[in-house]
């Protein structure tokens, strides 16, 4: 639901398991790295999302987020309204 192709500079190989340029000499991490981070944080994110009080928001600080791809993935996990 979060398409990696929207977050990289060259659209020729967005799904290759390798870092890809995002411009200005920076790269987006390889997909397996994002998968590892999400697997490690998934229990915490789901727990926080399911226990949040009505009207309260969950805050995530993604330092050095680069392209914003991983931040978008975090958002998909914690915002239950997106999948409704």
For residue 3, give Cα distances in angstroms to 7, 13, 14, 73: 8, 12, 9, 10
Active-site annotation, residues: 29
């Amino acid at each position: 639901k979060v398409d990696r192709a929207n977050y990289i500079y060259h659209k020729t190989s967005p799904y290759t398991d390798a870092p890809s340029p995002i411009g200005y000499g920076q790269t987006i991490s390889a997909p397996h790295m994002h998968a590892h981070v999400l697997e490690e944080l998934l229990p915490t994110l789901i727990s926080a999302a399911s226990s949040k009080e009505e009207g309260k928001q969950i805050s995530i600080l993604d330092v050095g987020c680069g392209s914003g791809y991983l931040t978008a993935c975090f958002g998909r996990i914690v915002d239950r309204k997106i999948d409704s």
